[in-house]
């Protein structure tokens, strides 16, 4: 009986991690923090929740060891505890994509029709970047670009895309990327670029997957 109780306690400990992600809001927080650390106010604004509700979710994730904090003056920044947490979230997302009935319908309701959106995989993009025969746009918010981005990518937040179009040569293919495979920013960028006569594709996933694959990345200013 003692062994049974010990095993029960052990597996309850394992399950604590699953419980910490057992909320759509917490899953969205994990997806957001995979881009880099954020103060609670920014996280709350991104997920459309109050600071109080967001703090509640973050405390639950912290108790399970999924997030850590860093103080900078009066502000507290939250980040994922390790790349393994980002891998966990990615694994949950991928399993859901393969096995949850109706998920593709939900994807379509959120992202819209994707038939006209061509994709490029990481290996092809890395090879093309080495050759220098395309333009890569990071269409995430500028703060996420500064936290980390694909080497050679230009920071063009989706809200600023139209005013950058004149600086893009139409004879060169453009690849846009954002937070991951279900990030709307890259889809929106490709649609807009295609409408304006550019040849555009999106990276099949996003920056977190690029980073975990060990592909060239940089942080800070442009380049």
| Catalytic annotation, residues | 178
Distances (CA, A) of 135 to 31, 98, 120, 138, 223: 25, 32, 13, 10, 12
218, 190 Cβ separation under 8 angstroms: no
Q: Which of 222, 193, 190 is nearest to 203 (CA)?
A: 190
Distances (CA, A) of 192 to 97, 144, 186: 27, 22, 10
Rg (CA), the chain: 19
């Amino acid at each position: 009986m003692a062994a049974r109780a010990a095993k029960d306690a052990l597996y309850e400990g394992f399950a604590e991690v699953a419980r910490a992600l057992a909320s759509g809001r917490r899953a969205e927080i994990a997806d957001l923090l995979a881009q880099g650390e954020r103060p609670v106010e920014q996280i709350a604004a991104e997920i459309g929740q109050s600071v109080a509700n967001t703090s509640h979710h973050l405390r639950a994730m912290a108790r399970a060891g999924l997030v850590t904090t860093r103080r900078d003056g009066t502000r507290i920044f939250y980040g994922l505890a390790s790349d393994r947490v980002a891998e966990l979230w990615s694994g949950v997302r991928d399993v859901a994509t393969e096995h949850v009935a109706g998920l593709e319908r939900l994807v379509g309701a959120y992202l819209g029709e994707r038939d006209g959106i061509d994709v490029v995989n990481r290996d092809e993009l890395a090879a093309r970047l080495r050759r220098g025969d395309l333009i890569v746009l990071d269409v995430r918010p500028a703060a996420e670009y500064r936290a980390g981005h694909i080497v050679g990518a230009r920071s063009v937040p989706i809200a600023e895309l139209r005013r950058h179009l004149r600086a893009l040569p139409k004879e060169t293919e453009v690849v846009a990327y954002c937070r991951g495979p279900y990030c709307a920013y890259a889809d929106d960028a490709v649609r807009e670029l295609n409408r304006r006569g550019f040849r555009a594709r999106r990276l099949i996933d996003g920056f977190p997957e690029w980073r975990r694959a060990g592909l060239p990345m940089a942080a800070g200013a442009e380049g």
